[in-house]
Structure 1
């Protein structure tokens, strides 16, 4: 009887260790550097304090930061992080979280007023996804027209083509990657994404990676070789 109890306990401990080991592997995983030489992070809103020098030392070549969301939200940490990135040796890019509930012109004006035009900046990424704070679902032609308005206004400000960061659900419903001729930033954990109508330029390969210098999980991305 005692042997059976110890055997069962040993099996539970082994399973637990395997689970811990698997999770540790998952949170440390990233696509091979040899296949994708350029890799980096993108952070959500209000990311907290970041040790950018440490992030660079852990293999990040670039960082994308949320600057604005909709027409009325500015990320409070954007300006300080934006200024710190060049000194840490990281290339920098700004992200706008597009709202389906607000006019594109108002959103573009908010972004352009907040994010400076800088020669070293990477192309702006406009993130289009379904969010809890907006239940609007415009017609496809309406959204495509709004996206084109936003892109035209932001590109006039930055003088660089915009990146389309599209969730799989949004691109399935609206076919934005087919309708708008801009580079695509696609999202798919572990497995390279294939849902967009054109090859991806950036792939968010993990949203659970953990690295020194950032508290909590980070979004880890690679650039197409």
Structure 2
């Protein structure tokens, strides 16, 4: 067992290394309380609008999960978990005055079904970072299984805020938000972003940050050259047992053993 855990530490370090990636953590293997791989790997989820992948595709990765909000409605989390959902990121807040009305229900459902969860905040460029961080903290209790998420993307269709700050401003505000949440929850959030936002703002330069990248028509290594990613959102039209209608599906960048180790160390 000790040898397997040491190999998992090495694997996690290799996945995490790189010019822009987070630094691996030095943790003794015996400190891991839960290194059990998920019960279902390589799940066979459907897709309402499947993409014809070339080369390495989502099916090559074993650990998959969802991100959800009020648009999914009630979810049968036990059915979803049994079908192969290994994690969930749940929308909690947006800007400085909006909470997702399904957040608590989704959170309790995921917890009850044994699905590891984290919450995400949709960033609003017309409010300062500290106000948005405070709003998130007011609405998201401690005790999540996964790091929380800062969702940063352009908002061209917003009725109230279509600002597009320059990259330096975006990165500075993101760092403030991440620092505040890290101090409160004890672990640094992940940053979710899209292709154009990543390109326009150079947000990949943020230090000590893990990334969750959206790419529904190509592998991240092709769509985000040189980026180091932890999660990949590969479809917005997924079909998953227990979920009504279409849902975003994501994969973790690593083996089941690396996934278990990452959860334990994060």
Distance 1:175 1:196, change over 3 A: farther
1:221 paired to 2:250 = yes
Q: Which residue of 2 aligns with 1:62?
A: 87
| Aligned-pair CA distance for 1:191 | 2.6
CA contact 1:184–1:196 (8 Å) conserved in 2:
no
Matched ranges for 1:76-87 at <5 A: 76-87=101-112
Q: Which residue of 2 aligns with 1:170?
A: 197
CA distance in 2, matches of 1:100, 1:159: 25
Distance 1:23 1:139, change over 3 A: closer
CA contact 1:82–1:92 (8 Å) conserved in 2:
yes
Q: Which residue of 1 aligns with 2:135?
A: 110
The secondary structure found in structure 1 opposite 2:85 is coil
**Unpaired runs of 5+ in structure 1?**
1-21
Determine which of 206, 209, 212 is the counterpart of 2:238: 209
Q: Which residue of 1 aligns with 2:171?
A: 144
- Alpha-carbon deviations, 1:64-119, whole Å to 9, x = none? 1000001110011101211121221211110110111211000000001110111x
Determine which of 145, 155, 165 is the counterpart of 1:121: 145
Structure number with bigger Rg: 1
| Aligned-pair CA distance for 1:26 | 2.1
Distance 1:66 1:25, change over 3 A: closer
1:26 paired to 2:55 = no
CA contact 2:179–2:188 (8 Å) conserved in 1:
no
Q: Which residue of 2 aligns with 1:50?
A: 75
Aligned residues: 200
**Unpaired runs of 5+ in structure 2?**
1-45, 255-266
| Aligned-pair CA distance for 1:56 | 0.8
CA contact 1:202–1:221 (8 Å) conserved in 2:
yes
CA contact 1:31–1:222 (8 Å) conserved in 2:
yes
The secondary structure found in structure 2 opposite 1:117 is coil
Determine which of 181, 198, 202 is the counterpart of 2:208: 181
Structure number with higher relative contact order (C-alpha < 8 Å, ≥ 6 residues apart): 2
CA contact 2:48–2:238 (8 Å) conserved in 1:
no
- Alpha-carbon deviations, 1:189-217, whole Å to 9, x = none? 15321316531100011111112211111
CA distance in 2, matches of 1:192, 1:41: 18
CA contact 2:182–2:189 (8 Å) conserved in 1:
yes
Q: Which residue of 1 aligns with 2:61?
A: 36
Using the size of structure 1 for normalisation, the TM-score is 0.82
Output the aligned Cα RMSD: 2.1
CA distance in 2, matches of 1:103, 1:79: 25
